C-alpha cells in the first residue's frame, strides 16, 4: 500500500513495484491525458501507463515551427478541456478559429457554414497536437495521477476484481477498472476479447502546413473530388494553413514523395489558388485511413475510449472530438456513481456505453456514408450527391442541425 500511495502522491514513474489503483488508463495520447485528471477529480486513484515517455514536448523553435498534426477542436470539446484547466493555458498565438467553412462537391455544389449565423464564437479551433499535450501533461501530476512511462506492456490478465497489467521492468499494476485509450491497435481491447470490424478506405491522409500568399480570414475549405478523395485547408494563425488530403493510395504516395516546393504548388493548384501561392513550412506525413466499429466498448472491468473504441474517416474532423466526448462521458458517469463505490461495476460501464453509442454511431454513419457516396463514379450518383449538397445549403434548419451535431 505504501508504494501505491507514493505513486499517486508524486506522480512519477516507479519501476519494480506492485501497485493498486481504482482506475488504470492505458495510453497517454490526448484522450488518455484528458481522462486521467478527470477521473482523479472523481475521487479515484488513477494510473496512466504508456510505452513512451510522458513529458511535455519542446516549445516551438520559431514562428514557422509548426506541428504537422493539428486538430479541429469543437466548442463542446473546448468546454471539456476548459473544465480540466487545460484550454486556458494554451498560447493564444498558436490557435486559429474557424469562423466559416466552405464545402464544395465534385461538380461545384456548395455547402457553407458560418459561426456568426449559428450564434457561435467559432465552428472549431485549430490546435497543434503538441500544444494540447503540453497543456494536458502537467494536469496529470497536479491531480496526483501516477504516471508509469515508459512502461512496455507485456501481459494484461483479468480476475473478478479487476485487471492486472504486467510491464517491462518488473512492474505490476492492478486496477478495478482498466481503460483502453491505446489507439486503433489497442492492446487492452485485444486482451478483453473485443474484436473490431475494420474497413480500409484505400486512402491515406496526407498532412502538411503551408504559408499562403493571401489571408484565409478564418475560413476553412474542403473539396470532395471525383476520385473519392477529400482535400481540406484549415486556418492556422497568420497567413498559414494546415492541409489534410485524404487521397487514394496511389495519389497519396505520389504526394508524399514530392519535394516541399512541388507539394506546395500541387496543393495550391488543387485548391484553385484561392489563397495564392503556397510555401511549405513542415514536411508531409501520411496516415492510413480505416473505419473501425466495435460490437461493444465495454467488457468485464474494461472501458474503451478514443481510437481504441472507434475509427472514422477524417473528412468531418471529428475523431479527437469523439475521443474527448468519451473521456467526458466516462468521467461524468463515475462522478455521479452515487452509492456504487466500484468504478468497474457493470452498471456503470453499461451506463457509459449507452451514453456514447448514439453520437458515435451517428458520426460513423455520416462520415462513412459521405466517403462512400463520393467514392462512387456513377454519373447518376454524382448528380444526386451534388444536388443534395445544394439542397442542404438552401435549408437553414437542416444546416443548423448538421452543424450543431458536430459542434457539441
Closest-CA residue to 123 (of 232, 208, 220): 220
Domain co-membership, 155 together with 51 = yes
* Residue 389 belongs to a domain: no
Of 289, 320, 336, the position where a domain reaches its end is: 289
Same domain, 87 and 98: yes
Do 222 and 279 sit in the same domain of this protein?
yes
Q: What is the residue-level pLDDT of the chain in tens, covering all 408 positions?
A: 333 333 433 444 455 578 999 999 999 999 999 999 999 999 999 999 999 999 999 999 888 899 989 999 999 999 999 999 999 999 999 999 999 999 998 777 888 889 998 888 999 999 999 999 999 999 999 999 999 999 988 999 999 999 999 998 788 999 999 999 999 999 999 999 999 999 999 999 999 999 999 999 999 999 988 888 899 999 999 999 999 999 999 999 999 999 999 999 999 999 999 999 999 999 999 999 999 999 999 999 999 999 999 999 888 778 899 999 999 999 999 999 999 999 999 999 999 999 999 999 989 988 888 887 777 767 777 777 767 766 666 666 666 666 666 666
The whole-number pLDDT of residue 401 equals 65
Beta bridge partners of 73: 125
Q: Which three cell numbers stand for residue 75?
A: 466548442
Residues 181 and 214 in one domain: no
Is residue 339 a part of any domain in this protein?
yes
Residue 387 domain flag = no
Phi, psi angles (nearest 5°) of residue 133? -65, -40
Q: Is residue 307 part of a domain?
A: yes
Distance CA 378, CA 376 (A): 6
Predicted local confidence at residue 58, as pLDDT: 92
Q: Work out the number of other CB atoms within 10 angstroms of the CB of residue 152.
A: 14
To which residue does cell 498559414 refer? Answer: 240
CATH of the domain at 329: 3.50.50.60
Q: Which of 289, 311, 334 is the last residue of a domain?
A: 289
Q: Is residue 351 part of a domain?
A: yes
Are 41 and 335 in contact, with CB atoms under 8 Å apart? yes
Tell me: do 348 and 211 sit in the same domain.
no
**What's the domain range around 265?**
70-128+199-289
- Is residue 366 classed as helix, strand or coil in its secondary structure? helix
Q: Which of 227, 262, 289 is the last residue of a domain?
A: 289
pTM above 0.75, yes or no: yes
**pLDDT reported for residue 16:** 57
Whether 33 is in a domain gets the answer: yes
User: Are 142 and 272 contained in the same domain?
Assistant: no
Let me know whether 119 and 203 are in one domain: yes
Same domain, 319 and 180: yes
Q: Which residues of 338-357 are buried (b: 16+ CB within 10 A; e: fewer)?
A: eeeeebbbeebbebbbebbe
**What is the per-residue pLDDT for 373?**
76
Residue 371 pLDDT: 81
Q: What is the pLDDT of residue 209?
A: 97
Q: Are residues 140 and 284 in the same domain?
A: no
Residues 226 and 366 in one domain: no
Are residues 131 and 68 in contact, defined by beta-carbon separation less than 8 angstroms?
Answer: no
- CATH number of 243's domain: 3.30.9.10
Is 385 part of any domain? no
Residue 168 lies in a domain: yes
SS (H, E, C) 378-405: CHHHHHHHHHHHHHHHCCHHHHHHHHHH
**Cα–Cα nearest to 25, from 39, 10, 43, 12:** 39
Same domain, 87 and 204: yes
- Say how many domains are in the chain: 2
Q: Is there a single domain that holds both residue 146 and residue 117?
A: no
Amino acid at each position: 500500500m505504501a508504494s501505491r500511495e507514493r505513486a499517486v502522491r508524486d506522480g512519477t514513474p516507479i519501476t519494480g513495484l506492485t501497485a493498486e489503483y481504482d482506475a488504470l488508463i492505458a495510453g497517454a495520447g490526448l484522450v488518455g491525458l484528458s481522462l486521467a485528471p478527470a477521473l482523479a477529480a472523481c475521487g479515484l486513484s488513477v494510473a496512466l501507463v504508456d510505452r513512451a515517455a510522458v513529458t511535455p514536448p519542446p516549445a516551438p523553435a520559431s514562428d514557422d515551427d509548426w506541428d504537422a498534426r493539428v486538430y479541429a477542436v469543437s466548442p463542446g470539446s473546448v468546454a471539456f478541456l476548459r473544465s480540466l484547466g487545460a484550454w486556458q493555458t494554451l498560447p493564444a498565438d498558436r490557435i486559429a478559429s474557424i469562423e466559416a467553412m466552405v464545402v464544395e462537391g465534385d461538380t461545384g455544389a456548395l455547402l457553407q457554414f458560418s459561426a456568426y449565423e449559428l450564434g457561435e464564437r467559432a465552428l472549431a479551433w485549430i490546435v497543434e497536437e503538441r500544444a494540447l499535450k503540453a497543456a494536458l501533461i502537467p494536469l496529470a501530476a497536479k491531480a496526483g495521477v501516477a504516471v508509469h512511462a515508459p512502461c512496455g506492456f507485456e501481459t494484461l490478465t483479468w480476475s473478478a476484481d479487476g485487471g492486472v497489467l504486467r510491464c517491462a521492468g518488473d512492474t505490476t499494476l492492478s486496477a478495478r477498472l482498466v481503460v483502453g485509450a491505446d489507439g486503433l491497435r489497442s492492446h487492452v481491447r485485444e486482451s478483453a476479447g473485443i474484436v473490431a470490424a475494420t474497413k480500409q478506405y484505400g486512402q491515406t491522409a496526407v498532412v502538411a502546413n503551408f504559408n499562403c500568399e493571401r489571408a484565409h480570414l478564418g475560413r476553412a475549405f474542403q473539396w470532395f473530388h471525383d476520385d473519392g478523395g477529400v482535400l481540406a485547408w484549415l486556418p492556422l494563425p497568420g497567413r498559414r494553413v494546415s492541409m489534410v488530403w485524404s487521397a487514394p493510395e496511389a495519389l497519396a504516395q505520389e504526394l508524399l514523395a514530392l519535394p516541399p516546393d512541388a507539394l506546395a504548388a500541387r496543393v495550391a493548384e488543387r485548391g484553385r489558388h484561392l489563397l495564392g501561392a503556397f510555401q511549405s513550412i513542415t514536411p508531409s506525413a501520411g496516415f492510413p485511413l480505416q473505419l473501425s466499429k466495435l460490437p461493444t466498448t465495454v467488457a468485464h472491468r474494461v472501458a474503451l475510449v478514443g481510437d481504441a473504441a472507434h475509427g472514422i474517416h477524417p473528412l468531418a474532423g471529428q475523431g479527437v472530438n469523439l475521443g474527448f466526448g468519451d473521456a467526458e462521458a466516462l468521467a461524468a458517469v463515475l462522478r455521479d456513481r452515487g452509492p456504487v463505490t466500484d468504478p468497474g461495476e457493470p452498471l456503470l460501464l453499461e451506463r457509459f456505453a449507452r451514453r456514447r453509442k448514439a453520437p458515435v454511431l451517428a458520426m460513423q454513419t455520416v462520415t462513412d456514408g459521405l466517403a462512400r457516396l463520393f467514392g462512387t463514379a456513377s454519373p447518376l450518383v454524382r448528380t444526386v450527391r451534388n444536388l443534395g449538397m445544394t439542397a442542404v445549403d438552401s435549408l437553414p434548419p437542416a444546416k443548423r442541425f448538421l452543424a450543431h451535431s458536430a459542434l457539441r
